[in-house]
Structure 1
Amino acid sequence: MNKKFEKYELSLKLSRYLLFRYTTSLIFFISLYWLAGAFLNNRNATIAIPLCICILTLIVNVKTYSVIKNKNDNNNLDLIINLLRITIIIMILAILIASVNIKLILPYLSSNKFSFGLLISIILLLVISYKNIINISLNKDRAYGRYKKSMDNLVDERIKYV
């Protein structure tokens, strides 16, 4: 019964972090694509921003799984929130640089509208992720109610069998 309880709890926690995990993974792969394009154009100056975003989102994803696996892991949750703040600041900096000269940030894209759309979509995904993880940390997300109710029911069932 204990293994079944742990698997069910893990399943509930995974569903609670579902949107966050997918948005941060999407940001990682978009920035990885951006990084590959920068490498192919041999622009050393343009590599820094997508490389930072790739590293930061990779750390966020690893720490998210750490939070899911461990109970009461608030230190990693605070780290995730701070890393997302840093990533948002880096993206705002990228948009400011791009407003001066878009070719400094995305030299391989010919359309300025698409380039700005890409940068703004990354920021929007980051803001969605940030809002989601803040709600999770404050237990204000929609999935927490289902998680709490299910966990209370499981604990009640477990007490009956003991």
Structure 2
Amino acid sequence: MEITVIVNGKKLVDSIEPDLLLIDFLRKHGCYSVKRGCETANCGLCTVFLDGIPVLSCSVPAARAAGHEVQTLEGLQEEASEFVGFIADQGADQCGFCNPGFVMNTIALLRENPDPTDDEIRAYLAGNLCRCSGYEGQLRGIRNYLEHKRSKEGIHGRNEV
């Protein structure tokens, strides 16, 4: 079957097998930030945006993306570059394997809730598996980024007096 998908702003037309997963379609087309982890939709490593909504590409048939827009980390570098350094500064990128999923879900979180509490951050990122950092580094990095952004803009967050 032939499908047309907009991937990171580029129109892709490809002939696929009906059972091809979106993760495999994306990797075939050079989107290597989309990683295979658990293959059971439990680790978050394969998170992409389908029409702006985060989905686990290991559980989405590529045919479902036909006629839709998919964004991967390759297409969101500018938005991601704002905060990834803050996560790295906290040592939260020890092996780096989970980073693309964390970054994708952090972008989704901040788009939905630009001033989350620590508990809201933890809840939103709960579906991301990280085997080496313990998650607190990611939380501190996101919190530091938000504090930096607020101080640069002269804004107080809900956690500040």
TM-score, length basis structure 2:
0.26
More helix per residue: 1 or 2? 1
More strand per residue: 1 or 2? 2
Who wins on radius of gyration, i.e. which is larger?
1
Larger RCO, structure (CA 8 Å, separation 6 or more): 1
